Structure 1
Amino acid sequence: MHIKSFRIDISCSGAQFGFATTFQKGLNIIRGSNSSGKSTIVNCLLYSLGMEELVGGKGEAALSYAVRDYVIHDDKKHHITESYVTVELENHLGEMSTIRRWIKSETHNTKLAEVLESPMPGSGTRRTSYKFIHDNYSAVYQEGFFTYLEHFLGLNLPKIHDSNGKQVKLYLQAIFAATAIEQKRGWTDYIANIPYYSVSNARVRVVEYLLGLGVFDQESQRMELDLESISLNNDWTSKQKELSSQAALLRLNLTGIPNKIASDFDQNNVEALRSANGEQSNLYTTIATLKKQYRDLELAINPDSGSPNSPISEELQQQTALVTKLVGDYETSLSNFTIFNSTLSTHIQIKAQTQEELTRNKTTKKLREYGASKHLHAASDSCPTCHQHIEDSLISINLTGTAMDIETNIHYLESQAKMLAKQEAGLELKIRDAEIICQNFSGQLEKERSVLSSLRKDAAKGNIVSQAAVKKQVLLEWEIERLEDFSDKLEDALADMAKLATALKVNQDKRRLLPKDRYSEEDKRRIRRFAQHFRGNAGEFDYHSADVADIVFNEDSLLPQLSRLELREIMDSPSDAKTKAQAVRNGNMAQNSSASDFVRLIWSYIMALYQTASSGDINGNHLGFIMMDEPGQHSMATKSQQALFRMLASQNNFQAIVAASFDDLDAVFKESTEGVKFKYIHLEEKCIAPFQGV
């Protein structure tokens, strides 16, 4: 990322104030006294990029009164009527983007960013669009500012888990916390001011991303494998419960099927057993035994001649009529069940389309509200090019009749969504009722058909049969049919469960291929390179509280440490550097750097992130941009500052912006920048001054 230019425009009644400058690649130094407004420029720059959370808040409230309330000039207060910032960016592809964001305006919402994008190929015109910022989904929706900025900068921010286990994006603001260090809190930690998004170890995740570690890919793979294993187990449990329930209704006991899915499942070990007379028999033996009993009953029946008018004949007619009626009832219930399912499917599709259209309308409304300016033609339903009327609707302009405006359309869609939700709930109840009715008719039909089959056999033989024998025979036939049907279902289900078990084994094999440690060997190589750059930088910046050669990196925290103690600032420690280092080695100090030395460590850390990420054999995800506000904290030695500036100026494909006062001394400035190539931006008494120009 390269910031090419930046400006602040302020309108007061009868006067224009502001600030404007350009930046070059390499090092840019903004010099001014402590009251000149250096931090105002830095903070406004962050605001123009939507990053004011790094300063301590969202929106214009994070900025100085000098850009949102009033300007003091010639000992007079000039109250601000409108103010905005404009920043021009260049990405790694050489594409340009100009972003304007309002600080105070009666016509523009401060949550609206105006974006002037690079011209389309073959066209000289640049497209203007409006993006909403610091609102729900501004990092998700295409119309969101952070989504736009992420894509423009060529980033692909990974998904991580928050403290509640929910999957969220590693937001752009967290990345900028490692590249833009403001004055007040930025020098209190290695990467300070990361906004809180319920993400555990956010600083570690930022470092992992900037260094391009593979941990995100590994976590994504683990997540996919976890989701797959959960899905496999759910399918398994569903089939296991269904089989167990059906088996229980048939007085069968299933063995060999574990409650949870197992990769070593063998369907040949599954048995369906029934106890009878103190003995157990499997399903096939049970069916064979029942069939023998059925045949024995048939042989034991006493035939007795009958006629068409015999009781058997009458019963046969009645049973036929009953079965015919049940067939009609069953087909009607099955038709209702199918229709309800089809209707529900259609409702779900319509509901999804309604929700999608509602989202588009709400997004359009939000952009219109944020940009509801008298100066925005599109916001007032007028084309900015031809000034013709634009319909306040997403409906095709080819439709005849009066179209609803966005507000009415949103109200209509919300009402439709509620109505569809109620209808969907009602349909689900109808489906459950229809399914139960259908199952009841099906069971009753099977039973009556069995009776009819027996009666037909008896009538054909001309026998008058014992009712007890008929009843036993019918019940046996019905039970045999149910058991045979269950046998077929069991065979199919076991084949499916065997496939699930095989899929689980593949899942487990893939999981074994993932690194056992959090970091792969390639990740560890990058971390070692990071530590190497850090130690080199610390030595270059004249860190002297301890021997830099003894500094190692903790792989859990990705922070430097000595003798297993994290390197921090000493609040009350021996004054002699050698004594300090010895105390650390002896394990007597949990914090082991002077205040200025700790700032040197932060410099080293921030620079090492870029140096490692930009290495030819690493290809990390750094923005190639660093901004520092008053890096010379705690009366930092000019020698150390000079080393920092030389390092910032010597990096390739890199831009640094540094705001510093240099203790308001020309000698300190000259000594700190001696031999350093940079663009000099000198501030007068106040950076916000009477301002004219384009």
Structure 2
Amino acid sequence: MLKINRLRIEIKAKEKIFGFDERFFSGLNLIASDDNTRGKSSIIAMIYYCLGFEEIIGGRGEKVLTAAFKSVIEEGENVWPVLESGAYLEIFNGIEVITIFRAAKIENRDNRLISVYYSDMENIHRQDTLLDDMYVHMPNAATNKKGFHNFLETFLHIELPMVPASDEAIRKLYLQLIFSGMFIEQKHGWANILSGMPILGIKESKKRVIEFILDLDTLDNDRKKDQLRAEEDNIKKSWTTVVREIILLVERESCTITGLPPSPKILTDVDYSKIIIQKNNDHIGEYINDLTKDYEDLNALKPKIIDNFDELQIELSETEKTIREYEWDIVKLSDLLDKEHISIRRLENNLEIIETDISNNKDAARLRDLGSEIDLYTSRDLCPTCHQEIADTLLPLPNDMPIMNIDDNIRHLNAQRDMLKFAKLSHESNLDKIQNSINHMEESLYKLRSLAKSLRSDLYQTNDSFSEAIVYKRLSIESEINNLKRLIDFYLNNKVTFEKLSDRWKDHLEKKAALPENKYSEKDKVKLKHLQECLVDNLKKFGYRSVKNLNQVEISKENYLPAIEGFDMKFDSSASDNIRAIWAFTLSLLQTSLMDSGNHPGTLIFDEPAQHSIIVSDMKEFFNSIINNLSNSQVIIGITVKDSDTRKVVNELPEGKYNLIMVPNKAFQKIDKSL
């Protein structure tokens, strides 16, 4: 919820302060003047400006404001140079009140700096009032802790969705876009429905804004589709990796595999039965059985060993010595491996800390560059982390030794980050080398142990020996059997992985099938029906005449904008009826949101809605509709009551049902003192 409580504008000239200070209430608020160019639009523009929404007007910063804020201010026949200018805006979210200050022209204060007082405007200078400085219209202002729009989103209890951007990235739907559907400014806002929406790189921004305001499930469904696409990519990559690893090991053992699904699918027992590993056209199990029989046949052969008994004993002794050396080397390398893991974890923790420090220092530098005057810990020689004096040190600190400022700190932290990243890469490289060495040694150790086992078997058979060929065949067969068994174990382990991926794939397909086929949930259909009914009802009330049968007006299922027979309603509308359509649709969004628990913040602003010679009776219906239907919301309207008919409409509004702020000859009058 957003409710504007009070706006105070201050423009300081030599020995004079000019300004505007008025309160706003729920329901209808009229900012009226007897003629144009009195400053109504300047007042409304300052509301946008304080909220950081001046892009709706057509730009960023003070350049969207009139000369009265930047160069000269008129007082009768006198013209005074503007020395400083800015505005305070008090807003309410239904629970808390804050006051926002933003400068238009103040020396050494950037217009992107916004100060937030955690109190109403009357109490901003109390000693116990908290003050925070933030920035707007800078990178990450919508996401960082010190970004004003990130703060405003939280304060207004708004949770902005992530939506597709023009560069295929996923970004947060900006507040400026949301409020361009509620704040209709004078110059561009009356060209078409949502025509004041700034271009901020969001795909189908009008559609996304309407989806958010009405809280349509389509927005959540699109998000779910994005998540499902990401999940699908993840499953496919994992599946491909497992398939590649199995095929690699199968080929390394000179085997073949058939029936292995190359892409994700729901696997059944029949599918698993079709996955067959073969060698020499025999099933791997049968091939291992044949090898085992050959191995047993070799064991049955017992040649004499008397002539080479001593040589076998020496070879066994050397082999066992080499085994012990390999085992010791593996233990040492395993210790090194553990140390590398610990070092990498420590570096990752340090990198997280430094990244946080860099972000905090950059925010501090931004606020300093923007002209923030809030006391920083570093300006008082205190550490911002531990709050101790910076001068505290184990060594004497010479008087002329400089203390690093924020910019030096950032450079130092960046250098530390680069150093830690380099160190982490170095440790990761060492980790890979050590692991490869361990793998190589374990493979060699396996062969040595097999050889030692064969030698012991020969030695302990008293009068028998094997020929060199038989020993070689025996070792070769034993190694091949073990390798093939490892291949089977590897496949069985990955079969479990396939089962998990298959379950994930089944779950993915079920979620995909659960999404509405036609994109709209039943709740969405009800909301869009209510939006259409409110729109048609408003068009009738406001005297829309360009279409004879208003029941032909519908809400487009493509972009949620008014359409007739599939075409934009504007094509069939006169200039004055286009204005009525903007009134009707803007009010309908709020009415539907209130009816169906949408996300509308509950505030509307119309600047000079009586465009293109609108009939006075239709304007009266517009006002009465706001009074009768939106008394708990807030609508602020800037209007010129130059002619008698418009003045009569305003005077005939129900007494006590609206707030009238009459702007005199000039909106900015001389005031006694600065706030």
Q: Measure, in 2, the Cα distance between the counterparts of 1:31 and 1:380.
A: 47
- The alignment's TM-score, normalised by the length of structure 1, stands at 0.89
- CA–CA separation in structure 2 for the residues paired with 1:603 and 1:416: 57
CA distance in 2, matches of 1:356, 1:272: 53
CA distance in 2, matches of 1:379, 1:275: 74
336-345 vs 289-298, which moves further:
336-345
CA distance in 2 between counterparts of 1:245 and 1:75 reads 90
* 1:459 paired residue number: 459
What's the counterpart of residue 211 of structure 1?
Answer: 214
Do the aligned partners of 1:393 and 1:406 also contact (CA within 8 Å) in 2? no
Deviations 1:203-260, CA, capped at 9 Å, x for gaps? 1111111112122332333333333333333322222221111111111222232122
- Whether the 8 Å CA contact 1:626–1:656 is kept in 2: the answer is yes
1:582 matched to which residue of 2? none
For residues 378 and 81 of structure 2, what CA distance do their matches in structure 1 show? 32
Report what 2:382 is aligned to: 391
Displacement of 1:86 in angstroms is 0.6
Q: Is the 8 A contact 1:29 1:660 kept in 2?
A: yes
Deviates more, 1:172-181 or 1:334-343: 334-343
In the superposition, relative to structure 1, how do residues 459 and 270 fare at CA in structure 2: closer, same or farther (>3 Å)?
A: farther
The question of 1:634 aligning with 2:612 is answered yes
Kept in 2: contact 1:306–1:464 (CA 8 A): no
* 1:410-448 per-position Cα deviation (integer Å, ceiling 9, x unaligned): 232211100011112222222222222222222222122
Trace 1:4-43 onto structure 2 (pairs within 5 A): 4-32=5-33, 33-43=35-45
Contact persistence 1:301–1:469 (CA under 8 A): no
Give, in whole Å, the separation in 1 of the partners of 2:259 and 2:67.
75
Residue 558 of structure 2 is aligned to residue 610 of structure 1: no
CA contact (8 A) 2:377 2:383 kept: no
Determine if contact 1:271/1:283 at 8 Å carries over to the other structure.
no
Give distance in 2, aligned partners of 1:479 and 1:434.
27
**SS of the counterpart of 2:511?**
helix
Match of 1:621 among 599, 605, 616: 599
1:454-533 to 2 correspondences below 5 Å: 454-462=454-462, 463-533=464-534
- Code of the aligned partner of 2:668: I
Equivalent residue for 1:575?
Answer: none
Identity %: 26
Worse-superposed segment, 431-440 or 35-44: 431-440
Say whether 1:344 aligns with 2:324. Answer: no
* 2: CA distance, partners of 1:358 / 1:379: 16
Aligned AA (2:205): A
Bigger mean CA offset, 110-119 vs 4-13: 110-119
Contact 2:91/2:98 (<8 A) preserved: yes
1:404 to partner: Cα distance: 5.6
Residue 530 of structure 1 aligns with an amino acid whose one-letter code is L
* Corresponding residue of 1:237: 240
C-alpha contact 2:257 2:278 (8 A) present in aligned 1 = no
* Alignment of 1:691 onto 2:671: yes
The superposition leaves residues 478-517 of structure 1 with CA deviations (integer Å, 9 ceiling, x where unpaired) of 1111111222222121022112211221222222222122
Q: Is the 8 A contact 1:214 1:520 kept in 2?
A: yes
Distance 1:107 1:563, change over 3 A: same
CA distance in 2, matches of 1:79, 1:311: 109
Aligned residues: 653
Q: What is the TM-score when the length of structure 2 is the normalising length?
A: 0.92
- 1:393-424 deviations in whole A, cap 9, x for unaligned? 33442784288654443232211100011112
Gapped regions of structure 2 (runs ≥ 5): 398-402
Cα distance, 1:673–1:157 mapped onto 2, change above 3 Å? farther
CA contact (8 A) 1:541 1:641 kept: yes
Give the direction of change, closer, same or farther, for the CA distance of 1:465–1:603 in structure 2 (3 Å limit): same
Aligned residues of 1:265 and 1:501 also touching (Cα < 8 A) = no
* Contact 2:183-2:605 at 8 Å conserved across structures: yes
Answer yes or no: is the 8 Å Cα contact 2:610–2:639 preserved in 1. Answer: yes
* Equivalent position amino acid for 1:692 in 2: D
Report if aligned partners of 2:256, 2:278 keep a CA contact under 8 Å in 1. yes
The amino acid that maps onto 2:160 is L
2:301–2:466 Cα contact (<8 Å) kept? no
Q: Within 5 Å, which residues of 2 pair with 1:556-571?
A: 556-568=558-570
- Displacement after TM superposition at 1:178 (Å): 0.8
Counterpart of 1:610 in structure 2: which amino acid? L
In structure 2, C-alpha distance between the alignment counterparts of 1:263 and 1:112, rounded to whole Å: 56
Partner of 1:550: 552
> Where does structure 1 lack aligned partners over 5 or more consecutive residues?
383-388, 569-590
- The verdict on how the C-alpha distance between 1:18 and 1:672 changes in structure 2, with shifts beyond 3 A counting, is closer
* Residue 265 to residue 59, structure 1, CA distance change in 2 (3 Å): farther
Which amino acid is 1:410 matched to?
Answer: I
1:274 alignment counterpart: 278
Q: Residue 584 of structure 1 aligns with which residue?
A: none
Give the 3-state SS of the residue equivalent to 1:474 in structure 2: helix
Q: For the residues of structure 1 that align with 2:142 and 2:295, how far apart are their CA atoms?
A: 72
d(CA) in 2 for partners of 1:114, 1:372: 8
Map of 2:315 onto structure 1: 315
1:682 partnered with 2:673: no
Structure 1 residue 160 and structure 2 residue 140: aligned?
A: no
> Deviation of residue 631 (structure 1)?
0.7
- Give, in whole Å, the separation in 2 of the partners of 1:451 and 1:259: 39
How large is the Cα RMSD of the aligned pairs? 2.3
1:592 corresponding residue in structure 2? 572
Corresponding residue number in structure 1 for 2:400: none
**Structure 1 residues 123-132 or 215-224, which shifts more?**
123-132
Matches within 5 A, 1:28-427: 28-32=29-33, 33-93=35-95, 95-118=96-119, 125-266=128-269, 268-269=272-273, 271-276=275-280, 280-306=281-307, 310-373=310-373, 376=374, 378-379=375-376, 389=380, 391=382, 393-397=384-388, 400-401=392-393, 405-427=405-427
Deviation at 1:379, TM superposition (A): 4.7
SS across alignment from 1:461: coil
Please say which of residues 265-274 and 98-107 is displaced more in the overlay.
265-274
Q: 2-side partners of 1:379 and 1:327: how far apart?
A: 59
Partner deviation per Cα, 1:237-294 (whole Å, 9 max, x = no partner): 2222211111111112222321222123546325443332xxx222221211111111
Residue 659 of structure 1 pairs with residue 638 of structure 2: yes
Query: Which amino acid in 1 is paired with 2:545?
Result: H
User: Contact between 1:553 and 1:561, CA under 8 Å: does it hold in 2?
Assistant: yes
| Contact 1:92/1:154 (8 A) holds in 2 | no
Kept after mapping to 2: 8 A contact 1:212/1:620: yes
Q: For 1:482, what is the secondary structure of its paired residue?
A: helix
Give the distance between the partners of 1:85 and 1:675, measured in 2 at CA.
Answer: 31
Partners of 1:670 and 1:638 in 2: how far apart? 9
CA deviation profile, 1:4-41 (whole Å, cap 9, x unmatched): 11011111222211122111221111122221111111
**Matches of 1:381 and 1:292 in 2, distance apart?**
81
Return closer, same or farther for 1:87/1:514 CA change in 2, 3 Å cut-off. Answer: same
- Change over 3 Å in CA distance of 1:379–1:465 after alignment to 2: closer
* Range with greater deviation from structure 2 (673-682 or 16-25): 673-682
Task: Assess if the C-alpha contact under 8 Å between 1:392 and 1:405 holds in 2.
Answer: no
How far apart are the structure 2 equivalents of 1:498 and 1:431?
A: 31
User: In the alignment, is the contact (CA less than 8 A) between 1:180 and 1:628 conserved in 2?
Assistant: yes
* CA distance in 2 between partners of 1:317 and 1:602 (Å): 96
Contact 1:639–1:672 (Cα < 8 Å) also in 2: no
Output the amino acid matched with 2:534.
H
CA shift in 2, pair 1:484/1:666, >3 Å: same
Cα displacement (A) at 1:673: 5.2
Letter in 1 for 2:597: N
Distance 1:218 1:441, change over 3 A: same
